[in-house]
Structure 1
Amino acid sequence: MNIQKELDRKQLDEKVLGMPWFVQQFIDYKLPDLSPSTLLEYIRDYQTFFNWLRGELLSEADHTSKVTLTELEMLRMENIVSYRLYLTTRREGANSKVTISRKLSSLRSLFHYLSQIAEDENFYPLLKRNIMAKVEVKRIHKPKDTAAKLKGKILEDEELLEFIGYILEGYGIDVADNKQALYSYELNKERDACIASLILNSGLRVSEIINLNLEDLDFNNKLLYIFRKGNNDETYKTPVYFREQAKDDLALYLSLRQPRYHPPKKEKALFLTIPNGQHEGKRMTKRAVQAMIIKYASRFGKPFLTVHKLRHSFATDYYLQNDIYKTKEQLGHASTETTEVYAHLTDKTMSEAIERRSDSF
């Protein structure tokens, strides 16, 4: 099991204890098929819903764990409409349409399990009446819409190389007057450029980057072995190629990893950081990588750029030279439907390339 999965599983095991017994049973049922991260989102969605039920006096429970099946059976359609309205209008933690759709889908999954799959001691369904079966959850994630939101917010063409070059040199010029920022930058610029280069030349997710160990790198064959999202075989690492462009950045970082970060012998992580006040390197966190990319992107003039948009940048560039099936495989998508985003993105990219080409004649 990879590092992030272990952390998510530990947190899931803790949070599920605060849920009603039937939710705990549902999570156990889903555990072989869904990642701990996904199930954690389910738990958070149920916490929101049960808190709302109690606040609206639709449940007499004095704690989330005491919400009953009978209370769920007594819900009416007007209650679900009110809950949807609550999610739409509540001030704290505003919900987008995508988030609301996901929260309702989580509830549908739970109610479906309780009414169609789970049984009591007499072989009757645990939930006799399923109000969520009447709720239509519209598909929000349309590839064309997602592509429209990404346009102008990812790196294209020469910008991929320019961004890596900026991390290696340009940022240092911009913060030359800030001694503290410059010190941190000089210590980590090769590592940071290597991480950005690897994502822009392989399309790895941030969780896949932080989980990389030294042994997962096959430098000569340009391969990385990673635990892919959605793969429930905890022992299998998927081989993923990285492009030739990343080799120099990797080689430079690897030459500095030991002398600069002083990792203990037991530390196998590829990418290291030295926490404040410490002297030995340890594995970088997801949050640290995300903050690092945002820092450089803001100075680079791409304030909307994130780690995940670096992945989108690679995918768009890769799709221009490959078909949708190769792109799906490289990115580790479960379906080509997800990969269709890049077909819509490259429509613009290719048309602009043609315009530039015609202008040069």
Structure 2
Amino acid sequence: MSIQKTSDRRKLEEHLPSLPWFVQQFIDYKLPDLSPSSLLEYVRDYEFFFGYLRMEGLSEAGKNADITLLDLERLHMDSIVGYRLYLTTRMEGTNSRTTVSRKLSALRSLFHYLSQIAEDEHFYPLLKRNVMAKVEIKRIHKPKDTAAKLKGKILEEEELLEFVGYILDGYGRDVERNKQAHYAHLQNRERDACIASLILNSGLRVSEVVNLNLDDLDLNNKLLYVYRKGNNDETFKTPVYFREQAKDELSAYLAVRQARYHTPKREKALFITLPNGASEGKRMTKRAIQEMIIKYAKRFGKPFLTVHKLRHSFATDYYLQNDIYKTKEQLGHASTETTEVYAHLTDKTMSEAIERRNGN
């Protein structure tokens, strides 16, 4: 199991006892199909919703675990409308339309399970009335809209190579008067350039990069073996190719990985950090990689660039040379609907991509 999945599974187990028994039953039902990360989001959404019910007097339960099925059956449509308004208008922590949509979708999944799938000992549905069946949840992000937001905010053509080159050399020249920043750059430039190059030449997600182990890399065949998002077979790693351009950065980093980061032989992680004062290196975190890319992006003159936009940059560049189906497989998307974004980001049309696929 990946590092992130192990952490999320542990957090999931910590949260579940504070929720009603029927939520725990629903999570068990979904466990084979959804990742621990997705289920953890569900659980947090349910905690928030049940807290709202108690706060508004829609349940007499003293704590979330005591919320009953009858409490849910008695909810009126006005209650759900009120909850939606609360999510969008409360003074602190106002949610975006996307977050509100996700929270309502999580509720609808739970209510559907309780009313259509789960049964009591007499074979009757656990929930006799499903108010969430009346709630229409509009799709927020269409591929065309997502593409419009990304326009001008990703790396294109020569910029992919330029950004990696900047991490290797240009940044060092820009900060040479700052001794601390310059020293840190000299220590980490091969590693940092390697991470950026790998994403820009494979399209890996940051979580997939974090979870990479040394033995997941087949440098000669330009292959990585990764736990892909949404694949719950914890014994299987998906082979993902990277382009030739990443080989030099990988080789340069591997040459310094052990000595420079005081990496113990027991440490399997591919990407290592050596915290200040530490005697030996350890696996980099997702947050560290995200902050590292932002640091270089600002100096590079692309302050909007993030680690996830590096993935978008690769995907757009890759799609220009391949069809939508190959791009979907390379990125590990569940459906081509997600991959449509890159059709809108380029001059190609969906019909052109599909026609070429049929011609192969």
Partner amino acid, structure 2, of 1:326? K
Query: What's the counterpart of residue 28 of structure 1?
Result: 28
Partner amino acid, structure 2, of 1:337? E
Specify the SS of the correspondent of 2:72.
helix
Specify the SS of the correspondent of 2:24.
helix
Query: What's the counterpart of residue 153 of structure 1?
Result: 153
Deviation at 1:141, TM superposition (A): 2.0
Deviation at 1:201, TM superposition (A): 0.2
Query: What's the counterpart of residue 249 of structure 1?
Result: 249
Partner amino acid, structure 2, of 1:290? Q
Q: Distance in 1 between matches of 2:316 and 2:262?
A: 37
Q: Distance in 2 between matches of 1:49 and 1:22?
A: 15
Query: What's the counterpart of residue 191 of structure 1?
Result: 191
Unaligned runs of 5+ in 1: 350-361
Query: What's the counterpart of residue 168 of structure 2?
Result: 168
Q: Distance in 2 between matches of 1:181 and 1:8?
A: 34
Q: Distance in 2 between matches of 1:60 and 1:299?
A: 55
Query: What's the counterpart of residue 105 of structure 1?
Result: 105
Query: What's the counterpart of residue 268 of structure 1?
Result: 268
Alignment of 1:113-262 (within 5 A): 113-262=113-262
Partner amino acid, structure 1, of 2:237? K
Instruction: Summarize the Cα distance change of 1:266–1:299 in structure 2 as closer, same or farther, 3 Å threshold.
Output: same
Deviation at 1:89, TM superposition (A): 1.0
Identity %: 79
Query: What's the counterpart of residue 299 of structure 2?
Result: 299
Counting matched residue pairs gives 349
CA contact 2:274–2:281 (8 Å) conserved in 1: yes
Q: Distance in 1 between matches of 2:68 and 2:273?
A: 47
Query: What's the counterpart of residue 285 of structure 2?
Result: 285
Specify the SS of the correspondent of 2:346.
helix
Per-residue CA deviation, residues 272-305 of structure 1 (Å, 9 max, x unaligned), is: 0012210211101111111111111111111111
Q: Distance in 2 between matches of 1:348 and 1:217?
A: 33
Unaligned runs of 5+ in 2: 350-360
Query: What's the counterpart of residue 12 of structure 1?
Result: 12
Q: Distance in 2 between matches of 1:146 and 1:45?
A: 24
CA contact 2:258–2:264 (8 Å) conserved in 1: no
Q: Distance in 1 between matches of 2:91 and 2:169?
A: 43
Specify the SS of the correspondent of 2:141.
coil
Specify the SS of the correspondent of 1:240.
strand
Q: Distance in 2 between matches of 1:92 and 1:293?
A: 29
Query: What's the counterpart of residue 309 of structure 1?
Result: 309
Query: What's the counterpart of residue 358 of structure 1?
Result: none
Q: Distance in 2 between matches of 1:124 and 1:65?
A: 23
1:338 aligns with 2:342: no
Partner amino acid, structure 2, of 1:110? L
Q: Distance in 1 between matches of 2:64 and 2:47?
A: 7
Partner amino acid, structure 2, of 1:257? R
Partner amino acid, structure 2, of 1:249? E
Partner amino acid, structure 1, of 2:37? S
Deviation at 1:16, TM superposition (A): 1.2
CA contact 2:163–2:300 (8 Å) conserved in 1: yes
Q: Distance in 2 between matches of 1:347 and 1:52?
A: 47
Per-residue CA deviation, residues 27-57 of structure 1 (Å, 9 max, x unaligned), is: 0000000000000110111111111111111
Q: Distance in 2 between matches of 1:331 and 1:304?
A: 22
Query: What's the counterpart of residue 357 of structure 2?
Result: none
Q: Distance in 2 between matches of 1:208 and 1:11?
A: 20
Specify the SS of the correspondent of 2:225.
strand
Deviates more, 1:170-179 or 1:261-270: 170-179
Moved beyond 3 Å, runs of 4+:
none
Partner amino acid, structure 1, of 2:140? I
Per-residue CA deviation, residues 86-123 of structure 1 (Å, 9 max, x unaligned), is: 11112322211111111100000000001111111211
Partner amino acid, structure 2, of 1:161? L
Q: Distance in 2 between matches of 1:57 and 1:17?
A: 22
Q: Distance in 2 between matches of 1:91 and 1:9?
A: 32
Deviation at 1:238, TM superposition (A): 0.8
- The two structures have a TM-score, normalised by structure 2, of 0.95
Deviation at 1:62, TM superposition (A): 1.6
Q: Distance in 2 between matches of 1:85 and 1:126?
A: 28
Query: What's the counterpart of residue 324 of structure 1?
Result: 324
Per-residue CA deviation, residues 315-358 of structure 1 (Å, 9 max, x unaligned), is: 00000000000000100001000000000001299xxxxxxxxx
- The two structures have a TM-score, normalised by structure 1, of 0.95
Q: Distance in 2 between matches of 1:145 and 1:56?
A: 36
Deviation at 1:232, TM superposition (A): 1.6
